[in-house]
Amino acid sequence: MSLHKKLGLSNKKTQNDEEANLKLTKGELEALLIGLGEASFKGKQVESVFKLAMKIQNEIKKLS
């Protein structure tokens, strides 16, 4: 028996199915976007980081 079954945890939801709701200021969003721009990523990470950057940019536009 796996550990998650012993603890009574459900394995049905994956990380992709879950969504977090955060309240960030425009300055915090901009800091995240700058941090992403200064970091280096490889291979498969590039697409997911690009999508994340687009989401952050859209949230910044909503606050402007």
The mean pLDDT value for 57-61 works out to 96
CB 57 within 8 Å of CB 36 = no
pTM of the predicted model, to two decimals?
A: 0.67
Tell me the per-residue pLDDT of 5-47, one tens digit each, with 9 for 90 and over: 556 665 555 556 688 888 999 999 999 999 999 999 999 899 9
pLDDT at 19: 87
- CA distance linking residue 52 with residue 59, whole number of Å: 11
